[in-house]
Amino acid sequence: MRDLAAIALFVALVACAPLVTQSGVVLNFIMMALYACLLAQAWNILGGFGGQFSFGHALFFGTGAYVQAIAQQLGMNPWAALPLALLASAAVGAVVGALSFRYGLKGSYFALVTLAFAEVFRVLALSVPFTGGGVGLMVPLRESAANMQFATRAGYLWLVLSLVAVALLVSAWLRHSRFGAYLQAVRDNEDAARAVGVDPFRVKLAAIGLSGALMGAGGAFYVQVFQYIDPGIAFGPGTSVEALVAAIVGGMGTLWGPVLGALALHVLADFTRNLFGQLPGINMVIYGVVLVLIVMFVPRGIAGIGVPVRWRRARSKESPRE
């Protein structure tokens, strides 16, 4: 109940932002921070709760983005296309998971497999005609709420906030559900989990499908905001890096870690973009430096700061007094 109350409070406060300010700059910042949070939450389900590090989560992002764009090219309403984008991304995740987990791939091997799949999909998107090839796809402009194209950033902010709320609810469910316990058991010791009756293959397969669906939601949202997608954006490494770094910096396997990490990195990215605007790619360098520092000095992430202190205090209260 505490998690649900915290999520409800978070959603209510952020939802009020367009009522407090009409500044396009501020609303755009909040919208893009929420978008980064959605990607981080998606990666956190597989990488944080499941312990299966993926370097190619752009695979699911791009799948969702292209399904959303192609469906609209064919005349489908974007609201109807959104569930298809999520299902397609989940299906791709299930296929990749089946091929990887069936043969026991994990750790660096699994990370490289996901990276390879993302690159294969990027090459395919460059080669087949229905993706627009290297030119990419433009989404038809039909501005209206019924067409998921809003006149102001407020509409997009509420849209991505609803997707983030779903991701937070999924993470909260993983913290307290039996499936979440199975997933974390597989993460901690796969052999021990198997010994007590947990099927690691099925658990990891469900986790990658769920993670892929949320990542696909991020891709669909990107298409609606920018009304364009190409293979480099859809399946490039930048999206994967953004998702995993935000989760690691904020705190893997936690509810609010990806939120904190996405916000911190988004503030940092905007700062470096304004400061080093003439140096393209500097934000990736900054991301790398921040990641190294976090791993060295705050291995639990931002959400883990002070956890050992709180743990020691709790233990001292539980221990009997002499």
Instruction: Specify if 53 maps to a domain.
Output: yes
How confident is residue 306, by pLDDT bands cut at 50, 70 and 90?
Answer: low
What end-to-end distance do the CA atoms of the chain give, in Å?
36
Q: What is the pLDDT of residue 321?
A: 46
Q: Report the C-alpha gap between 255 and 251 in whole angstroms.
A: 9
Instruction: Specify if 256 maps to a domain.
Output: no
Instruction: Specify if 221 maps to a domain.
Output: yes
Instruction: Specify if 254 maps to a domain.
Output: no
Is the pLDDT confidence value at 116 over 60?
yes
Total Cβ atoms within 10 A of residue 307: 13
How confident is residue 289, by pLDDT bands cut at 50, 70 and 90?
Answer: confident
Q: Which residues neighbour 239 within 8 Å (Cβ) at sequence distance 6 or greater?
A: 39, 57, 58, 61, 62, 233
Instruction: Specify if 12 maps to a domain.
Output: yes
Count helices and strands (H / E) in the chain: 15, 2
List, for residues 129-160, the tens digit of each pLDDT value: 889 988 999 998 889 999 999 988 999 999 99
Q: Report the C-alpha gap between 224 and 170 in whole angstroms.
A: 23
Q: What is the pLDDT of residue 316?
A: 52
List, for residues 244-263, the tens digit of each pLDDT value: 989 998 999 999 999 999 99
Instruction: Specify if 163 maps to a domain.
Output: yes
Q: Which residues neighbour 6 within 8 Å (Cβ) at sequence distance 6 or greater?
A: 255, 256
In terms of pLDDT, which residue wins out, 312 or 109? 109
Domains in the chain: how many in total?
A: 1
> Domain span at residue 160?
2-237
Instruction: Specify if 136 maps to a domain.
Output: yes
Q: Report the C-alpha gap between 204 and 202 in whole angstroms.
A: 6
In terms of pLDDT, which residue wins out, 60 or 281? 60
**pTM of the predicted model over 0.95:** no
Instruction: Specify if 157 maps to a domain.
Output: yes
